[in-house]
Chain A
């Protein structure tokens, strides 16, 4: 069985690791590097709990082999807060009670954070479409959409 030495920059920190070709990115992050923010939910590419950013794009890390991302810049939910201070989106999830059990939250945050980088003043329909690939089994979508909408509104006010 072949093994491959790869390097990943996660939230700005460079890591060297050795992986089997079949190691999924989410497992490399969680098991090898200790970034346990990205969760494994369905493990079939549907639920989005494993969403991270690779070179700026939100992707599902259970549907990506780690070896494919050799040399890439990866951002996980651990990179959102600044030394323990929640970022604006996280604060709005807290404010709006945009989570119940919290299992989907890291993926929701990474998808929403990526969406908000390009979306100005998104409608609620656009927000729901953006998080189509993230399932909340507590079905708390309403408050999640509130949180994303309020984050966009606050960003608009501060510009």
Chain B
């Protein structure tokens, strides 16, 4: 199947890529193209020009820099799923990367593109929210960072502007934190029907801070403050997890959730409660 025609430019640096974006009206960046190409085939998107950044050096690394794990935008989902450093310090992101598509898709798709593309069913987006990941973005005149809570604006809509380039992610390393991702997979597409990432900071067995990120459920990935509040300050012993997850159905309005042939909004709300409990439980199990 052919996409519409477009012009192709291969960038030789981040600055060159941004110049190409500015020079060609409507141009998009392309790395793995695993978000964009399928949507170009269906005609949902038809950029007149693509700027290929997949060959840029030094943007696929995963390094620890003090209290931050820095992930280059061109790291593939396979790179992230297999990184021992990420498994140790940000397991929710490793879990989510390992749930993307299938082996071949994980070899092709990159994390920077995945976030900038903003597909509201994408697994890593839940982990971005739960782990409070900071995006590093370069524009024509300046660099800036975007906090996790400010990244997602709607389906395929993010805070990344037209002539900006996501260069990488910063994941906070917190020795008192545990995290996990739990997902109900859409059997047709492999995307998340419901995906929940949970990150808990613990002092002995007391939750001092909780962040829950959700994907697949609405047009924008979101957090669950009602569940976070229910967990914070509580001892993880007892029925606290079930009670916290039980708050989901009051916290969301099923009529505002995605409904499709696989699941109504009401069923998604139910699944969200179930998978919130699974994600929190899996995170706590990692506390050992």
Interface residues of A (CB under 8 A from B): 1-2, 4, 20-22, 24, 43-46, 48, 51, 57-60, 62-65, 67-68, 70, 111, 114-115, 129-134
Measured CB to CB, the closest approach of chain B to A114, in angstroms, equals 8
Residue of B whose beta carbon sits closest to that of A70: B10
Which listed residue (B6, B38, B107, B189) contacts A21, Cβ 8 A? Answer: B6
Measured CB to CB, the closest approach of chain B to A68, in angstroms, equals 6
Which listed residue (B7, B30, B108) contacts A59, Cβ 8 A? Answer: B108
Measured CB to CB, the closest approach of chain A to B187, in angstroms, equals 11
Pair A20/B38 contact, Cβ less than 8 Å: no
Which listed residue (A68, A115, A134) contacts B33, Cβ 8 A? Answer: A68
Judge if B250 is at the interface, Cβ distance under 8 Å: no
Residue of A whose beta carbon sits closest to that of B3: A22
Residues of B within 8 A of A43 (CB): 1, 41
1-32 of chain B: CB within 8 A of chain A:
1-8, 10, 30
A20 and B7 alpha carbons, distance in the complex (Å): 9
Residues of B within 8 A of A57 (CB): 78, 107-108
Residues of A within 8 A of B190 (CB): 46
Which listed residue (A24, A48, A68) contacts B52, Cβ 8 A? Answer: A68
Residues of B within 8 A of A65 (CB): 8, 33, 37, 50
Given A63-B33, A63-B34, A65-B33, also A133-B5 (CB < 8 A) = no
Pair A45/B105 contact, Cβ less than 8 Å: yes
Given A43-B1, A68-B52, A133-B103, also A63-B108 (CB < 8 A) = yes
Pair B33/A2 contact, Cβ less than 8 Å: no
Judge if B54 is at the interface, Cβ distance under 8 Å: yes
Pair A2/B7 contact, Cβ less than 8 Å: yes
Pair A21/B104 contact, Cβ less than 8 Å: no
Pair A51/B8 contact, Cβ less than 8 Å: no
Judge if B225 is at the interface, Cβ distance under 8 Å: no
Judge if B229 is at the interface, Cβ distance under 8 Å: no
Q: Count chain B residues whose beta carbon lies closer than 8 angstroms to a beta carbon of A.
A: 28
Given A22-B5, A22-B6, also A133-B102 (CB < 8 A) = yes
Interface residues of B (CB under 8 A from A): 1-8, 10, 30, 33-34, 37-38, 41, 50, 52, 54, 78, 101-105, 107-108, 189-190
- Known contacts A45-B37, A62-B1; 9 additional CB pairs below 8 A are A48-B104, A58-B107, A59-B104, A60-B108, A65-B37, A70-B10, A111-B103, A130-B103, A133-B105
Residue of A whose beta carbon sits closest to that of B190: A46
Measured CB to CB, the closest approach of chain B to A109, in angstroms, equals 13
Given A2-B7, A21-B8, A43-B1, also A63-B107 (CB < 8 A) = no
Pair B8/A44 contact, Cβ less than 8 Å: no
Which listed residue (A4, A51, A129) contacts B104, Cβ 8 A? Answer: A51
Given A63-B37, A68-B52, also A22-B107 (CB < 8 A) = no
Given A45-B38, A60-B108, A132-B103, also A20-B5 (CB < 8 A) = yes
User: Lowest 9 A-B CB distances belong to which pairs?
Assistant: A133-B102, A21-B8, A57-B107, A132-B102, A43-B1, A22-B3, A133-B104, A60-B104, A59-B108
Residues of B within 8 A of A115 (CB): 103
A77 and B222 alpha carbons, distance in the complex (Å): 43
A113 and B30 alpha carbons, distance in the complex (Å): 28
Most interface-central of A21, A63, A129 (chain B CB within 10 A): A63
Pair B34/A45 contact, Cβ less than 8 Å: yes
Can you list 12 A-B pairs, Cβ within 8 angstroms, ordered by A? A21-B50, A22-B2, A45-B34, A45-B105, A48-B104, A57-B78, A59-B108, A60-B104, A60-B108, A64-B33, A65-B37, A68-B33
